[in-house]
Amino acid sequence: MQHVFYKGTDETKPVLLLLHGTGGNEESLIGLAREIDETASILSVRGNVLENGMPRFFRRLAEGVFDMEDLIFRTKELYDFLSEAAQQHGFDRKQVVAIGYSNGANIAASLLFHYENALAGAILHHPMVPRRGIELPKLSSIPVFIGAGTNDPMCTAQESEDLGSLLISAGANVTTKWFNFGHQLTMPEVVAAKEWYNNIYA
């Protein structure tokens, strides 16, 4: 998968896996990651699917309607890539914390839904429930931050609540913060994510 890797100055910190929204690329969230933790290593990945020329991490049939077969395939592709990247760049595969926005948050959530040891934690900005009606792996106390919009037209409040509930039922330690800014990623949300991150990883 096309990606960039920036080695951090503090190797005790998590490796931040950056997963962009629709139309983004591997450079889109670098500034966000540095805002969260300027000392951590960064692995930023470009989605392998194109929708009208815009990179995404998996196909969708319509807005809010995921192509489940492709979602499952692309989730495994990303899961396998993380092991390859850990070998290539020399970081601890068990210390990967995802930061995803929109489509990127959805593929990060899908990693948690499908694999027990996929991530050490996740910051999910405006995610949806990737799949329903499946049994989740054990997510023993994995810390997850969900940034949600009270009036998000693409990701309803119910989606955010359902996702939090499903992750909690699988054992994850979920913190959900609500913001009145629709679907966009705003500075107050970034600040809240940074405070959450510092409470766990600083």
Instruction: Give how far Cα 16 sits from Cα of 51, 96, 158, 171, Å.
Output: 26, 6, 28, 22
Is residue 125 part of the annotated active site? The answer reads no
Is residue 70 part of the annotated active site? The answer reads no
Pick the catalytic residue from 70, 89, 162, 183: 183
Pick the catalytic residue from 114, 126, 152, 160: 152
Pick the catalytic residue from 102, 110, 114, 160: 102
Neighbours of 192 (CB within 10 A): 18
Phi, psi of 71 (to 5 degrees): -60, -45
The closest of 51, 108, 50 to 82, measured between CA atoms, is 108
Catalytic residue positions, numbered: 102, 152, 183
